[in-house]
Amino acid sequence: MTHLVRRFENRAGLAGAVGQRLGESRWHEVTQAQVDRFAEATGDDQWIHVDARRAAQGPFGGTIAHGYLVLALVPRLLSEVFEVCGLALMINAGVDTVRFLRPVPVGGQVRLVADLVSIVDRVRGAVEASIDVNIEMRDRPGPVCRARACFILYPARPVRARRPVAATPPVAATRAPERRASDHDPESPGIAVGG
């Protein structure tokens, strides 16, 4: 099955999609290697994430992904959902709400479903997009994680300010001449000259 990324020709096209479903990502398997790397990077090495033998006897029947690892997949998964032409970059601005609704076992497959909530203009042609994201797990009903993620999209060429700002002429830097020991007057008080 071919996966299609929804393409917007510009920021105005994206703004026209407010209130719409942007799409879904592909399914991605959450591996023990990912969980272990995340534990190493964050210091969250709780046994339910990294100790397969102990976790098998625990409440989830095996190791599970960190909730924040699942959340950290949002930018990667979202890149499979949509793209906007003419952007220099898209950065994370924050998460307004997030809920981890059920655990994701290692080996589980997740995908992201995204709905565009709003677009707000920012300075120099940038816009802030608020996107409701639901991360679902294959063969399980309902989302495992729900969040409202915010991103700032910067145009490839910044939009110039409407009013030009007068540039201040540069001030020439002046530097006092360096003084050498031989420049000092040996007769002046407080100066000791070795002899």
Number of H-type helices and E-type strands within the chain: 6, 8
User: What is the pTM (predicted TM-score) of this model?
Assistant: 0.76
Does residue 72 sit in helix, strand or coil? Answer: helix
The residue length of the chain stands at 195
> What integer pLDDT is reported at residue 143 of this predicted model?
97
Could you report the average pLDDT of every consecutive run of 10 residues in the chain (195 residues)? 84 92 97 97 96 96 97 95 91 95 97 97 92 96 96 81 52 49 46 38
All structural domains of the chain with their residue ranges? 6-30+64-155
What does the alpha-carbon distance between residue 55 and residue 48 come to, in Å, rounded to a whole number? 5
> What integer pLDDT is reported at residue 173 of this predicted model?
47
Q: Domain 6-30+64-155: state its class.
A: alpha beta
Backbone angles phi, psi at 112, to 5 degrees: -110, 135
